[in-house]
Structure 1
Amino acid sequence: MLLDAIAQNNFVVVGRAGIDFYTDAGVRAEDAERVSVGLGGSAANIAAGICKLGGQAALVTRVSDDSVGSYCTGQLNHYGVNTDHVTPVGGEYRNSLAFYESVVDGHRNVIYRNGAADFQMDSEDVSKVDYSAFGALITAGTVFAAEPSRSASFKAFDLAKEQGLPIIFDVDYRPYSWPSAEVAADVLSRAAAQSDMIVGNDEEFGFMAGSYDKGLDKARDLARTTASLVIYKMGEHGAITISREEEFKTGIYPVDALKPNGAGDSFMSGLMTSIADGHSLKDSVLRGSACASIVVAKPGCAPAMPNPSELEKFLSSHPGPTSV
């Protein structure tokens, strides 16, 4: 059911859109004389990446009722993301803003989330969505960090499930967004328990398990009980894909990285569209890893995500993934 739903290549994505400012390649913040601007925010990046790779995606979120919100909406439209459920909110709420350096050593990423507009997404927003028009729902953990977005996101889970949509959950734990680690562990674990597919890194699974060394056991337990598919990412050491039928490891595509930003979002986009394009699960995971490598080797997040020809060119010219 899960892979068949993904094969429709038509996703409703619940989560934030933000604006990114980033330096030129190799330039640190204190040396920057100019910065570039691009679409950011984990959910927006995933949706844009899916559309750039030939899929369809609609984003459900709130944006600030100002020029930054207009920029984010305009960029979503530029990438082909459906913005019918991107709703402006007024007052003092503001879009999230990220400022980061296009460097790896000592990389600094500052994210402004005070009074975040996307946290104002409410149950009415998610109730207006026709979930029957989509194949699957994708979200990332940030949506659960504050109310009313938290309750609205759990309601979106319920409404999607009523229409037979599987839930695809990227844990995406960002400590700065949460009131405490204890609240985050509880809420993210609840979201994971309701999801059909879970993607996270070793630290995130360890966080939910209460100890880093228990993270892989947590991932395997979720795959045996509530989830159909779990992907346990280990950075430069690749990933372990776990289902009730199989477990396999995959490597990464080494590149000269400029920054770490956007890798997980691009991985998700590449994974989803590759499954939809008929690739095997293992090849889809590898193609997702290739998309992550492409993004970290370029400035920006959404602007750096590949289209099909760029992905195929990368795969044909790269020596191949690391062995595991």
Structure 2
Amino acid sequence: MRLIAIGDNVVDIYKDRNEMFPGGNALNVAVLARQYGAAETAFIGIVGNDIEGEHIVESLKVNHVDIRNIRKAYGESGKAYVDLNDEGDRIFVSSNKGGIQSKLKLKLNREDYDYIQRYDVLHTSIYSNLDEELPLLQKLLPISYDFSNHFTEDLLKKVCPYLTFAFVSGSDLLDTEIEDLIITIQRLGTPNVIVTRGSKGVIMANPHHRFLQGIEKATVIDTLGAGDSFIAGFLTSYLDGYSVKDSLKVAAVKAAKTCEVNGAFGHGKRLMA
């Protein structure tokens, strides 16, 4: 299985550790899918010409992610500041709202499209500013999309007709709301809907069945990136021929393992004093 991820990337700055970790949904899925056995992964996105951008690029190289089509622009890379709450859980405190990538829209050219269609699946996210490109990209390969928990009805109507896989964070939703959401997304054209529900596990719906997957035990250090790990684990397994049930199990195990390290996949770097 070969996966290409396009869009968001940041460094997550852990204030309590004075350390930064590469992150962002699209970037994490590219790296983690490669770690989980994908034959090839690639990432296209915009990074800044700063220390943080250099660290993002280096982390992709070290993890054997193809970055030949990455863009570097003059400005700040995306930064998210993370701290601990009273219960010891990591929370996002602030960000620079994507840095330079939020000011420059990623524009795909003919060379990019020729390159993209070499892959088996494309993953992107609500934060990746790729929505306008989906109608054309959908003609080339299946698309996976992470809505996080920030979707709107208008966004669903805009992008769901072009997706094969929709991932949604639904830990704050009631069971009835989740069921209504699944029905809505499928009616709009996305056949496979996966809703993560925190400690309640995952529910997946395809056109024929509903599947439930519980969480796996972990010695939790840091939950940041667990959802991205689940996506990477599922896509890598399912597109390599595993059953839905087995793919969900693999994904849950991978997500649990991610909770046992800082950052989505480690690769931390101390900040300058």
Q: Normalising by structure 1, what TM-score?
A: 0.73
Instruction: State yes or no: 1:262 paired with 2:254.
Output: no
C-alpha separation in 1, matches of 2:171 and 2:200: 13
Higher share in helix: 1
Instruction: State yes or no: 1:133 paired with 2:118.
Output: yes
**Shift of residue 137, structure 1, vs aligned partner:** 1.2
C-alpha separation in 1, matches of 2:89 and 2:175: 24
C-alpha separation in 2, matches of 1:65 and 1:240: 41
Q: After superposition, what is the alpha-carbon deviation per residue over 1:237-290, rounded to whole angstroms, capped at 9, x for unaligned?
A: 111111111112111102232232101110011111112333211110111111
| Aligned with residue 142 of structure 2, among 145, 161, 166 | 166
C-alpha separation in 2, matches of 1:51 and 1:70: 20
Q: Secondary structure at the match of 1:11?
A: strand
TM-aligned CA distance change 1:302 to 1:126, over 3 Å? farther
Instruction: State yes or no: 1:40 paired with 2:17.
Output: no
**Shift of residue 171, structure 1, vs aligned partner:** 0.7
Instruction: State yes or no: 1:228 paired with 2:191.
Output: yes
C-alpha separation in 2, matches of 1:267 and 1:44: 14
Q: Secondary structure at the match of 1:240?
A: strand
Question: 1:192 — aligned with what?
Answer: 160
C-alpha separation in 1, matches of 2:99 and 2:212: 38
Instruction: State yes or no: 1:72 paired with 2:56.
Output: yes
| Aligned with residue 43 of structure 2, among 59, 65, 83 | 59
Which consecutive residues of structure 2, in runs of 5 or more, have no partner in the other structure? 268-273
**Shift of residue 213, structure 1, vs aligned partner:** 4.4
C-alpha separation in 1, matches of 2:60 and 2:188: 36
C-alpha separation in 2, matches of 1:138 and 1:303: 21
Matches within 5 A, 1:1-324: 9-22=1-14, 29=15, 32=16, 34-55=17-38, 56-90=40-74, 93-101=75-83, 105-114=88-97, 116-122=99-105, 124-125=107-108, 127-129=110-112, 130=114, 131-143=116-128, 150=129, 153-163=130-140, 165-173=141-149, 184-202=152-170, 213-303=176-266
**Shift of residue 217, structure 1, vs aligned partner:** 1.3
Question: 2:270 — aligned with what?
Answer: none
C-alpha separation in 2, matches of 1:106 and 1:265: 17
| Contact 2:48 2:72 (8 Å CA) reproduced | yes
Q: After superposition, what is the alpha-carbon deviation per residue over 1:207-259, rounded to whole angstroms, capped at 9, x for unaligned?
A: xxxx9843321212323551121112211111111111111211110223223
C-alpha separation in 1, matches of 2:127 and 2:148: 7
| Contact 1:139 1:170 (8 Å CA) reproduced | yes
TM-aligned CA distance change 1:123 to 1:17, over 3 Å? closer
Q: CA RMSD in A?
A: 2.5
**Shift of residue 106, structure 1, vs aligned partner:** 5.0
C-alpha separation in 1, matches of 2:263 and 2:178: 30
C-alpha separation in 2, matches of 1:20 and 1:288: 23
| Contact 2:48 2:100 (8 Å CA) reproduced | yes
What is the aligned length? 263
Q: Secondary structure at the match of 1:199?
A: strand
Q: Secondary structure at the match of 2:211?
A: strand
| Contact 2:149 2:169 (8 Å CA) reproduced | no
| Contact 1:197 1:227 (8 Å CA) reproduced | yes
C-alpha separation in 1, matches of 2:135 and 2:198: 32
C-alpha separation in 2, matches of 1:123 and 1:43: 14
| Contact 1:203 1:212 (8 Å CA) reproduced | no
Q: 2:56 is aligned with what amino acid?
A: C
| Contact 2:156 2:185 (8 Å CA) reproduced | no
Q: 2:208 is aligned with what amino acid?
A: E
Q: Normalising by structure 2, what TM-score?
A: 0.85
Q: 1:17 is aligned with what amino acid?
A: N
Which consecutive residues of structure 1, in runs of 5 or more, have no partner in the other structure? 1-8, 23-28, 144-149, 175-180, 305-324
